[in-house]
Amino acid sequence: MDEEMATLDANAIWELVTLPKDQKIIGCKWVCKVKHDANGSMSKYKARLVAKGYAQTYGIDYKETYSLVAKMTIIRAIIVMATPKGWSLHQMDVNNVFLHGDLQEEVYMEQPVGYVDQTHLNLVYRLKKALYGLKQTLRAWSDKIGQYLVTSGFQTSNVDFSLYVKKTNREIVIIVIYVDDLIIIGDNDADIFDLKKLLKQKFEMKDLGDLRYFFNIEVI
């Protein structure tokens, strides 16, 4: 929980303010989980601060909520396409994925249990970036990563809008996005290396290397 709060503070997710008279406040809660790796072994303990998005009101503190998630058929097709061609299959994981999305609406949240500022008991958090649990969280992240890839020369596929393709005269790089997991394939390892370097500079990402385990699919 301390690590979670430190991460939120470091990313400037919020600021303490007085709740405006014409605004309402939503609650938050702690969600704790045990994360496992591909072998089923415990990898780490995880505490997540989650906003109670069910208390939000459409048109006031959220608007559009839909986001794009790659279809399982697309993920399998990408693996099938890359294998006979001998293309590299890489995987990246976005750390605190939803914290990268920028909020367009005004959202106010209570201070979390255990971390209430004792010198400002009557103040609330005005969220500047998306937080887990908000209705527009996925939408904000999807917009952010999509805009960045398009400005970097990628085009959205008409088959699946979570599939991004970048072609040059001889080379091709393909990215599939499933929430906070990215599959990257292509016919040039140097291009993939450069892309991963840029992604890590823009977003807080972890390079997982070769694709091994993705959405309950073990890749050998």
- pLDDT at position 142 is 83
**Ranges under pLDDT 70 in the chain:** 38, 65-68
pLDDT score, position 67:
67
For residue range 53-96, list pLDDT tens digits in order. 888 888 777 777 666 678 889 999 999 999 899 998 999 988 77
What pTM was computed for the model? 0.73
Q: What was the pLDDT predicted at 215? A: 76
What are the boundaries of each domain within the chain?
2-218
- Transcribe the chain into DSSP letters: -HHHHHHHHHTT-EEEEPPPTT---B-EEEEEEEEE-TTS-EEEEEEEEEE-GGG--BTTTB---------HHHHHHHHHHHHHHT-EEEEEEETTGGGGSEEEEEEEEPPPTT---TT-TT-EEEEEE--TT-TTHHHHHHHHHHHHHHHTT-EE-SS-TTEEEEE-SS-EEEEEEETTEEEEEES-HHHHHHHHHHHHHHS-EEEEEE--EETTEE--
pLDDT confidence of residue 14: 92
